[in-house]
Structures are given as C-alpha cells and as structure tokens.
Amino acid sequence: MPHYCQKAIVLSAIPYSESSLICKLYTEEFGLKSYIVRSAKKKGSKTPTQHFQSLNIIEFEAYNNSQSKLEGIKSSSLISENISISFSIIKNSLTFFIAEIINLSLKEHNPNKELFDFLYAQIIKLKNSNDVDLAEFHLNFMLLFADLLGLSPMNNYSNENPFFNPIAGKFTNNKDIQSFNIEQSLMLHRLMQNYKANSSCRICNNKIQRNILLDGLIVFYTIHITNNQTIKSHKILSTIL
C-alpha cells in the first residue's frame, strides 16, 4: 500500500477500541485531517500515545488508502515535544485553551502554509517562553489567529467611536447591550495596536483586566469564528493568569 510522510500539529486524540486512537491533525500539506492510530497504547508501538498529546508537533508516515474514510498512521516521531508544558500549570492551561480555539475555529480542510507556519511558531514560542512572559499570550494569539482566518475585528477606534460592538466587529458610537464598555473597548484597541506593531508591551495591568478582555474576545469568537460553539477552557485559564 502506498504511503507518504508529513509534518503535523496534533489538535486532539480520542480513544478508539482498547489500543487505538482517532486523532485530528493540522498537516502542513493537506490541512485539517483525521487519522486512525492503531496500537498506540501497546508497548513498543511505532505510534505511541504520548506523540499525540495536544499541540505536539510531529512527523508521521501514513498509508494512502483511498478506500477508507480514515487513513492509518504507520509511524510517528516528535519534532517538538511539549515537555516544559507538562511541568507548568500556566503552559498546560494555555495549551488546552489554544487547542480548543483551533479545534472550534478551523473548518476548511484545504492546506494553508501561512497558517501552519503561524501555529508552528506560536507553539514553539509557548514552549520556550518563561511563565512570567505569558500573561497576554492567549489574547495576542486570538487576535493574530482571527487575522489569519480573515475575521479580525476592525480597529477603527476613535473618540467618536469608543465602543466595540462584537456583532458588527468594529467600534461604534452607540453603547448598547452587546457593546464592550469603555475600558474593555480601549484595551482591545490597544491590544490590536500592539500586535500590528509587533510590540511585546503589556496592555493589561492585572488579572481582572485580562479576564475582561478575554471575555470580550470570546464573545467575538463565538459570533464570528466558532459558529456559536461554546469555548470552555478559558474558565480554568482565567483563574491562573
């Protein structure tokens, strides 16, 4: 049976039978794709379970089987293992959150090299950063990711348009029930300025401000990106960052 080799980012893996997994990968050349990983839980497996933890970057060999809905992975190796993430509650929580955001947001199965490279770089950055430098990682990720998906909010903030409306995806002069408040809107504006300028300056002064901004971005994502699917992992994240 013909086979091919491919790089991928692991998004999720669920048990299938006693020893196998069904995994969802974002591959470099095929985009979003699911595979079956047989015998992953068996001793000496060429595709061990630990390779398929969320946001691991792997290289794998798969069978090219046009007759099956799920191609099987023959072997796998780790390009980037998230060892440091396992020992950090902050990195571990960010990993679950980022993986959930990607899982809920990606719909297209077509390849996107720019998006793959972005996710690859963000995972490496998360792994190599110190915990103290990650306070706003998730906020910046959400804006950058939305931008690459072509669904970024419009940064038209001004004195005349000080309220961000998540439904319209832009700042307006009307304060209605859906709009962000003045503080939340201003922080979003500054965060968008920051990432456009590639600045590492922090926007939020404390956890309360970060959570206010996170809550607002989740509302925006739910409306425009995740198709009303609920993001859940931020509840843990908001308690530790």
121, burial (CB in 10 Å: exposed 0-12, middle 13-18, buried 19+): exposed
Do 26 and 55 share a structural domain?
yes
State which residues form the domain around 90: 84-240
Q: What percent of the chain has pLDDT over 70?
A: 93
Q: How confident is the model at residue 179 (pLDDT cuts 50, 70, 90)?
A: very high
Do 164 and 141 share a structural domain?
yes
Per-residue pLDDT at 8 exceeds 90: yes
Instruction: Give the pLDDT confidence score for residue 68 in this predicted structure.
Output: 63
Do 210 and 109 share a structural domain?
yes
| Per-residue pLDDT tens digits for 137-148 | 999 999 999 999
Q: How confident is the model at residue 159 (pLDDT cuts 50, 70, 90)?
A: very high
Q: How confident is the model at residue 238 (pLDDT cuts 50, 70, 90)?
A: confident
Do 213 and 120 share a structural domain?
yes
Do 118 and 54 share a structural domain?
no
Instruction: Give the pLDDT confidence score for residue 2 in this predicted structure.
Output: 60
Mean pLDDT rounded to a whole number for the chain: 89
What is the tally of structural domains in the chain? 2
Do 92 and 60 share a structural domain?
no
CA–CA distances in Å: residue 146 to residues 141, 154, 226:
8, 11, 11
Are the CB atoms for 50 and 26 separated by under 8 Å?
A: no
Per-residue pLDDT at 217 exceeds 90: yes
Per-residue pLDDT at 10 exceeds 90: yes
Do 175 and 143 share a structural domain?
yes
Do 153 and 115 share a structural domain?
yes
Instruction: Give the pLDDT confidence score for residue 37 in this predicted structure.
Output: 93
Instruction: Give the pLDDT confidence score for residue 82 in this predicted structure.
Output: 61
